[in-house]
Amino acid sequence: MALGWMAWTVPTAIFFATIAVILAAMTVWQVVAPSPERRGFLPIPTTPGDRLFVGLLGSAYIHLAWIGLSDATLWGAFAVALVWLIGVLRWG
């Protein structure tokens, strides 16, 4: 009888561990050296942590849209999401 537990693969664990490390590092960075809010192409003033969150959330939506609307490999979604994330972190 299956208990409904998620089967974690090594790549999945690495992905979530990496996200956790990035978020922890960003938190430590902001505690040690707080950054002022700034305005970019996003319609609100943001800190680096805000831009990281928006970038990760947008990347997730890009992957979901890619899966739902395309039969192409996920490497394409990864490339688009990476460009989005870098753009938001740099100019957001």
Q: What is the pLDDT along the chain (92 residues), one digit of tens a residue?
A: 456 677 778 888 898 999 999 989 988 998 999 888 899 998 999 988 889 989 999 999 999 999 999 999 999 999 999 999 999 989 98
Q: Quick one: pLDDT at residue 4? A: 63
Domain count within the chain:
1
Write out the two tokens for 10.
Answer: 């090594």
Quick check: helix, strand or coil at residue 46?
strand
Domain with 76, as residue range(s), is 10-91
Does 3 map to a domain?
Answer: no
Close Cβ partners of 4 (under 8 Å, ≥ 6 residues apart): none
- Residue 46 β-bridge partners: 38
> What is the SS3 assignment for 33?
coil
pLDDT of residue 13: 87
What pLDDT is recorded for position 12?
84
The pLDDT assigned to 3 comes to 62
**Residues 90 and 41 sit within 8 Å (Cβ to Cβ):** no
DSSP 35: P
29 domain residue, yes or no: yes
